[in-house]
Structure 1
């Protein structure tokens, strides 16, 4: 596969995306977050009472260094550690603080030198599962179940100057908030319902973060 089509949902047309834009404390840092699923990008593009655009790009990937956090060399704990290292998360208990230290020691993945990062997208609703795992409220199996239930798909994080220079803008597709904001809110409410269902059931045979720490 030499070329892939990527979609980025926004409130504006971005014909020439720039490096070092967006939130500093995002999943993988500052850069351009895209998906290969146009319907998901349409949800990202809108807000309550505000229409948006899906910006479509073509990216030649041959010769780019791509880190796939969902590849066979990595587990969901590697992805989670990257996420916790870049997001701002309140750790209110000693167990959670020690848990983050444990994850950084054993599952840290350096993003240096990569052009593109591929991994789950943890929107705000699903970030609750990351907090739940590090506070030992849910097991590893429950964390994995939650991410699969979310159907968030993979996000492609355009990171390097080399990758940005290759992005070719195709078009900007208008998105009506009346059509896609409801889908966005349904996804969020489903996430909250899933979280309640999972946290209300103890995984008695599951592996929790504190179990991994004790084994070490």
Structure 2
């Protein structure tokens, strides 16, 4: 199975790095099974950093890597109540910690964050937030949260993405 990581540099050896941007599932190395999602993330990164190009790093993992009995793995199959609570905790609580090595689930896009903002402003209740999430087509993300979780990743190649400077 292939996984894709979009960024501003080629990543041949993934690492767990603390950044100023906490993702949906916390700190770690983010990938996706959707190359379009990775390419889109490159363009977002280019816009943020005013870059003319970025890269999708492509990795191979065993098809059954999410069944490793030696790793603590959490899979969110959809954007449901448990997913919302987990994403919100990671994004709003700077000291939030979890025990998972790998987490797979939907990625929250801009429309989802707009719904979160309405919820946080008490303009939507929790049930209304969940109903809005049900109609969104969300791509996936796979977070590698610990050093040992990175072991199944094998770098294959990279793809350069040209970005339009705004």
After TM superposition, the structure 1 = structure 2 runs for residues 26-45 of structure 1, keeping only pairs within 5 Å, are: 26-45=23-42
Residues 57, 21 of structure 1: alpha-carbon distance in 2 compared, 3 angstrom cutoff: farther
Q: When you count strand as a share of all residues, which structure comes out higher? A: 2
Q: What 5-or-longer segments of structure 2 have no aligned partner?
A: none
Length, aligned pairs only: 154
- What is aligned with 2:80? 76
Is 1:157 matched with 2:143?
Answer: yes
Q: Over aligned residues, Cα RMSD in angstroms?
A: 2.9
Is 1:55 matched with 2:62?
Answer: no
Q: Deviations over 1:108-129 (max 9, x none)?
A: xx831x2210122124553221
- What is aligned with 1:87? 91
Q: When you count helix as a share of all residues, which structure comes out higher? A: 1
CA displacement at 1:146 relative to structure 2: 3.8
Is 1:168 matched with 2:154?
Answer: yes
Q: What 5-or-longer segments of structure 1 have no aligned partner?
A: 90-109, 183-216
TM (normalized to structure 2)?
0.76
CA displacement at 1:139 relative to structure 2: 4.7
2:114 to 124, 128, 139: 128
CA displacement at 1:142 relative to structure 2: 4.5
Where relative contact order (Cα < 8 A, 6+ residues apart) is larger, the structure is 2
Q: Return the alpha-carbon distance in structure 1 between the equivalents of residues 156 and 74 of structure 2.
A: 25
Q: Deviations over 1:16-50 (max 9, x none)?
A: 11113433632222101111010111010122452
CA displacement at 1:157 relative to structure 2: 0.7
- What is aligned with 2:20? 23
Q: Return the alpha-carbon distance in structure 2 between the equivalents of residues 148 and 12 of structure 1.
A: 34
TM (normalized to structure 1)?
0.61
Q: Return the alpha-carbon distance in structure 1 between the equivalents of residues 81 and 120 of structure 2.
A: 11
Q: Return the alpha-carbon distance in structure 2 between the equivalents of residues 58 and 144 of structure 1.
A: 34
Q: Do the aligned partners of 1:23 and 1:29 also contact (CA within 8 Å) in 2?
A: no
Between Structure 1 and Structure 2, whose CA radius of gyration is higher?
Answer: 1
Q: Deviations over 1:167-199 (max 9, x none)?
A: 111111111224xx99xxxxxxxxxxxxxxxxx
- What is aligned with 1:8? 5
